[in-house]
């Protein structure tokens, strides 16, 4: 009897991607009206983004497929395919420092390694009229719009857990990034107020509320000069000696 072959198309979707109100979902499509098809809504504990949805879809495919079957995963996500194949060794050797969706990808890699059958990834072009990709995309959209989130199991079997980083694979830049990830510096009160003001202004203008990360990143956009970037950053931090700065300095209150 030949080995069972399973083919599944996976995709992710996100409503208001990059905003505080983002809602992500993912879809798994095995065929027309196939009972294994799934539309999943990501829980709030997981980053809400397109890439998260893409990664969770592959995770669920690896968790639910029979371990002895030959699993063919069709995805239009270069991020997920490369992250689980050619970039996986570097990610693990560098302790996943600076990698987004690391918990999802670590769990996915562990479940793929548990499989006895081969797992083969196929890169497909998104929105190209491919029935499977379009089916997974539609299911991902349904998942993102569901009222209640689904449970996602990110458990990694103990014998497949990778911890730490290989010193030989590290650079000063990666080590510094790792230190920044471990040491969480609280955001200053003035910066929190500025971020909320920016968020409200953006929502009034375009209808979405950007995340803190997206706001900070926008200050460093390639279309913004370094001097303007520095000005916006300092303004958001209330670093200029204007306004309330002078209120607690005797005889200087008038400058406020």
Q: For position 64, which CATH number holds? A: 3.30.420.10
Residue 112, C-beta contacts closer than 8 angstroms, at least 6 positions apart: 62, 84, 119
Q: Clarify whether residues 67 and 138 are in a common domain.
A: yes
Angstrom CA distances, 34 to 8, 81, 132, stand at 11, 24, 12
Domain count, the chain: 2
Range of the domain at 193: 189-255
Q: Clarify whether residues 15 and 64 are in a common domain.
A: yes
Q: Clarify whether residues 133 and 195 are in a common domain.
A: no
Angstrom CA distances, 44 to 19, 134, 150, 192, 215, stand at 13, 26, 10, 22, 20
Give domain status of residue 166, yes or no: no
Give domain status of residue 218, yes or no: yes
Q: Clarify whether residues 94 and 45 are in a common domain.
A: yes
Q: The whole model's pTM is what? A: 0.83
Q: Clarify whether residues 74 and 193 are in a common domain.
A: no
Ramachandran class of 69: left when φ > 0, alpha when ψ lies in -120 to 50, beta otherwise? beta
Give domain status of residue 183, yes or no: no
Quote the pLDDT of residue 169. Answer: 86
User: 14 - beta bridge partners?
Assistant: 24
Enter the tokens of residue 104.
């999802």
Q: Mean pLDDT of all residues in the chain?
A: 91
Quote the pLDDT of residue 14. Answer: 96
Provide the angle, in degrees to the nearest 10, between the axes of the packed helices 189-206 and 226-236.
Answer: 110
Which residue in 83, 94, 100, 232 sits closest to 173, CA to CA?
A: 94
* Residue ranges in the chain modelled with pLDDT below 50: none
Give domain status of residue 174, yes or no: no
User: 12 - beta bridge partners?
Assistant: 26
Give domain status of residue 195, yes or no: yes
Q: Clarify whether residues 11 and 118 are in a common domain.
A: yes
DSSP-derived secondary structure letter, 238: T
Give domain status of residue 82, yes or no: yes
Predicted confidence (pLDDT) per residue in 92-115, tens digit: 999 999 899 999 999 999 999 999
Q: What angle (nearest 5°) sits at the alpha carbon of residue 207, between those of residues 204 and 211?
A: 95
Give domain status of residue 28, yes or no: yes
Last residue of a domain, one of 144, 160, 176: 160
Quote the pLDDT of residue 1. Answer: 52
Q: Clarify whether residues 119 and 206 are in a common domain.
A: no
Quote the pLDDT of residue 76. Answer: 95
Give domain status of residue 31, yes or no: yes
Q: Clarify whether residues 125 and 216 are in a common domain.
A: no
């Amino acid at each position: 009897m030949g080995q069972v072959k399973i083919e599944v198309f996976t995709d992710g979707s996100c409503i208001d991607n990059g905003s505080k109100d983002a809602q992500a979902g993912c879809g798994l499509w095995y065929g027309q009206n196939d009972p294994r098809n799934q539309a999943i809504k990501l829980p709030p504990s997981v980053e809400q983004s397109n890439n998260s949805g893409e990664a969770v879809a592959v995770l669920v495919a690896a968790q639910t497929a029979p371990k002895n079957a030959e699993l063919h995963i069709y995805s239009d996500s270069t991020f997920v395919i490369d992250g689980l194949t050619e970039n996986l060794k570097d990610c693990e050797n560098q302790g996943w420092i600076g990698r987004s969706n690391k918990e999802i990808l670590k769990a996915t890699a562990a479940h793929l390694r548990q499989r006895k059958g081969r797992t083969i990834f196929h890169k497909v072009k998104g929105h190209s009229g491919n029935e499977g990709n379009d089916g997974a995309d539609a299911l991902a959209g349904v998942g993102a719009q569901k009222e209640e989130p689904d449970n996602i199991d990110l458990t990694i079997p103990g014998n497949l857990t990778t911890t730490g980083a290989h010193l030989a694979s590290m650079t000063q830049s990666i080590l510094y990034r790792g230190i920044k990830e471990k040491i969480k510096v609280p955001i200053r009160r003035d910066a929190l107020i500025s971020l909320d003001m920016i968020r409200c202004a953006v929502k009034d203008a375009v209808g979405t509320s950007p995340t803190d990360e997206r706001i900070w990143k926008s200050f460093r956009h390639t279309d913004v000069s370094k001097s303007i970037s520095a000005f916006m950053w300092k303004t958001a931090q209330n670093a200029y000696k204007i306004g309330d700065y002078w209120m607690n300095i005797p005889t200087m209150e008038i400058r406020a």
